[in-house]
Amino acid sequence: MVHFTTSRPKRKAFLFTFFFFSVIIGKKRGVAARKKGRIMPQDAFTLRLVAKELDSALAGGHINKIIQPSPDEVDLVVFTAERRTRLLVLSTNASECGAYFEDRAAEAPPVCPNFCMLLRKYIQGAEILSVAPVGVERILAFRLREKTEFTDTVRLLLLEVMGKYSNLMLTEGAGLGTILGALKTTSIDGNTHRVIFPGVAYALSAPQAEKVSLAEENRAELRRVLALASGDLGQFLFTRVAGLAPATAQQIAENYRGGDLEEFVRSFVFSDDISPCVLEKDGMPVDFYARPVAGALPFPTLSAAQSYCYGKKRARRSFEGKRRKYASAVATALKKQEKRLAQILEKQKECADCELLRKKGEILTANLYALHKGMEGCTLPDYYDGGDLRIALDPMRTPAENAQSYFKRYRKQRRTLEMLAPQETETRDGLEYLRTLAAAAERAETEEDLLSLEEELTAAELIRSAPQKRGKNRPEIPYRTYECGGFRIFAGRNNLQNDRLVRASSPEDLWLHAQRYHSCHVVIRTEGKPVPQEVLQYAANVCARYSDARGERIPVDCTKIRNVKKPRGSRAGFVTYTDFITLAGKQEL
């Protein structure tokens, strides 16, 4: 920790400088984030349309079940007025905050969190009266009515959609009410600007001083501010008008064709015209929009667009997280094996002169008559290589004892080398096997690839397997399957599958593997028919694609299954083969 000791004026200057650069850096990061599309358009414009959509679907429905699957998400199972069950997701996650429907089964965690228990106490079974935005704030208000034999109470479930500051609160009472509980609370004295704590009156966040609100009572001020618009209109609207996300501000700027800017902004924001869509780049969602965007995928509702966008991003994050976890487990095992191999090689190096010890013992034995106790060394003729050999002696031992000492050291080092040889072979085999797992983790592309990798890592005891639910067996992971020229082609996803694929194939089937590289095993089911060259080339391309080789032409060996042998006791995926031809595979199919 660094401690600063400065005078008061210097401290003030330091704090001012620190604050100034923090603001500048924050703005730059904000601009960079907007350029990358990481800020979702959950603004007053979008949330008003979301609220209208949710109100139409949920008004008159009842909350049957409440689940909190994660610290920043609450799921409501609602039986709607149309007698349909819907799963409503209320997310306060910074990257996927919002309210939307999902078509999946609700899964409850083993332990119910405190906020979830509070919601179950107050609103489970409640009727949803309406869903509406709070003014032009980024807040959705769910008006809920709990009616029993003794009470008839209306409460508000307030979802604040504000990026990393998103929150979910339950209130009761006049206006926006008093807080009964919140997903994220603050201490009473920990935040002087806004306290979020049970028993405290709910208060809106402080307005941004540099921005003007879109509320009806601020029309004159909005007109005055927009009259000053210059330069990049989208950036100007984002920085000066409250409740507009960068994407919305940019869409307003792109559609503006002159005239009364204040009237155009208000008509755009408060229009019910909607065409939900999701913009994708390289197969991954960038953002979702309420208005059409060139090249975007259309969706019937904003909820469907949000669910698709967030679901695909969540699945991608989960996939990458698992792949990093498995790659890390393999890397740790590789590091241990490399360390073990280094230790073995170091011991072998220490024992490398064992034959010299034997030779010195024999030369001493042949010249005992010329030596006597008390000598510290001697130079004797080397009848093995010619010349003379200098031999160190222990003066406290007789010449015979010195000779036996050399023989003893020789036998010890020889035994060490004999024990190290199989250890070195085993360690090198283990390293080679782990490198195949590292290559499999690197080239994993689908959830099936990760499941197959998890299966092998569990079998190798590199990770612990997740406990299976009683009565449910994990389904067998299929091979990668292709078809070309009427022939079926199979490729293993991991070493275990590679072994099973070889065992399940006929002697006349063709087997392919990248030469001198780690790759999947590929088998062409011949069914006794000759295989055309284009089918061989396609199979070689499959093999090259799922290998750790890089280049335009990758050597791939091809032989019949009857020429492929698995040595007894060898690791998964290891085989030997003969009588092969070599093809040039390409990594593009």
Residue 104 three-state SS: coil
Instruction: Report pLDDT digits (tens) over 406-456.
Output: 999 999 999 999 999 999 999 999 999 999 999 889 888 888 899 899 989
DSSP single-letter state for residue 465: P
Q: Are 503 and 548 in contact (CB under 8 A)?
A: no
Angle at alpha carbon of residue 404, lines to 402 and 409, rounded to 5°: 100
Q: How many secondary structure helices (H) and strands (E) does the chain include?
A: 13, 22
Show the tokens assigned to 519.
Answer: 């790759």
Q: Per mean pLDDT, which range of 65-74, 417-426, 542-551 is the poorest?
A: 542-551
User: Model-level pTM?
Assistant: 0.74
17-33 average pLDDT score: 41
Pick from 123, 98, 112: which is nearest to 68 by CA? 112
CA distance 525 to 511: 9
The backbone torsions φ and ψ at residue 298, rounded to the nearest 5 degrees and listed phi first, read -80, 150
Q: Do the Cβ atoms of 310 and 302 come closer than 8 Å? A: no
Question: Maximum Cα–Cα distance for the chain, whole Å?
Answer: 120
The rounded distance, in Å, linking the Cα atoms of 275 and 299 is 8
Mean pLDDT value across residues 282-296? 89
For the CA atoms of 260, 264, 267, 270, the dihedral, rounded to the nearest 10 degrees, stands at -120
| pLDDT one-digit tens code per residue, 448-499 | 899 899 989 998 889 887 665 555 566 678 999 999 999 999 999 999 999 9
Helix (H, G, I), strand (E, B) or coil at 60: coil
- Tens-digit pLDDT profile for residues 154-191: 999 999 998 888 999 999 998 899 999 999 988 766 55
Contact call for residues 448 and 493 (beta carbons, < 8 A): yes
One-letter amino acid identity for 392?
A
Q: How confident is the model at residue 3, as a pLDDT?
A: 34
- The DSSP H or E segment spanning 511 is strand 510-514
Average pLDDT estimate for 88-108: 90
Rounded to whole angstroms, the Cα distance separating 266 from 223 reads 10
- Counting Cβ atoms within 10 Å, is residue 330 exposed (0-12), middle (13-18) or buried (19+)? buried
Cβ atoms of 66 and 116 closer than 8 Å = yes
Instruction: Name the residue type at position 24.
Output: I
| Residue 282's pLDDT band (cuts 50, 70, 90) | confident
Q: At the top level of CATH, which class does the domain 44-182 belong to?
A: mainly beta
Residue 182's SS3 state is strand
Residue 297 has pLDDT above 80, yes or no: yes
| Amino acid present at 484 | C
Domain coordinates in residue numbering, the chain: 44-182, 216-308, 321-466, 475-585
Task: Give the integer Cα–Cα distance in Å for 544 and 550.
Answer: 9
Provide the token pair at 546. Answer: 């799922």
Q: Which of 183, 206, 182 is nearest to 194 (CA)?
A: 206
> What are the residues whose beta carbons fall under 8 Å from the beta carbon of 461, sequence distance 6 or more?
none
What are phi and psi for residue 64, nearest 5 degrees? -90, -30
CA–centroid distance for 206 within its chain: 36
User: Which residue would you say has higher pLDDT here, 40 or 257?
Assistant: 257
The rounded distance, in Å, linking the Cα atoms of 217 and 121 is 39
3-state secondary structure 189-229: CCCCCCCCCCCCECCCCCCCCCCECCCHHHHHHHHHHHCCC
Is 289:304 a contact under the CB 8 Å cutoff?
no
CATH placement of domain 321-466? 1.10.287
Radius of gyration of the chain (CA): 37
Residue with tokens 């924001």: 269
Alpha helix ranges (H) inside 275-301: none
Please write the tens of the pLDDT for every residue from 4-16. Answer: 233 444 444 444 4
Give Cα 296 to chain centroid, integer Å: 25
Question: What pLDDT band is residue 350 in, cutting at 50, 70 and 90?
Answer: very high
* Whether the predicted pLDDT of 313 surpasses 70: yes
Edge-to-edge order in the sheet of strand 297-298: 284-289, 277-281, 297-298
Rounded Cα gap, residues 548 and 518, in angstroms: 6
pLDDT confidence of residue 299 = 95
Question: CB under 8 Å to 376, separation ≥6 — which residues?
Answer: 392, 393, 395
Residues 531 and 512: beta-carbon distance below 8 Å: no
Residue 366 CA to residue 358 CA, distance in Å, equals 12
Nearest to 243 by CA among 278, 205, 292: 205
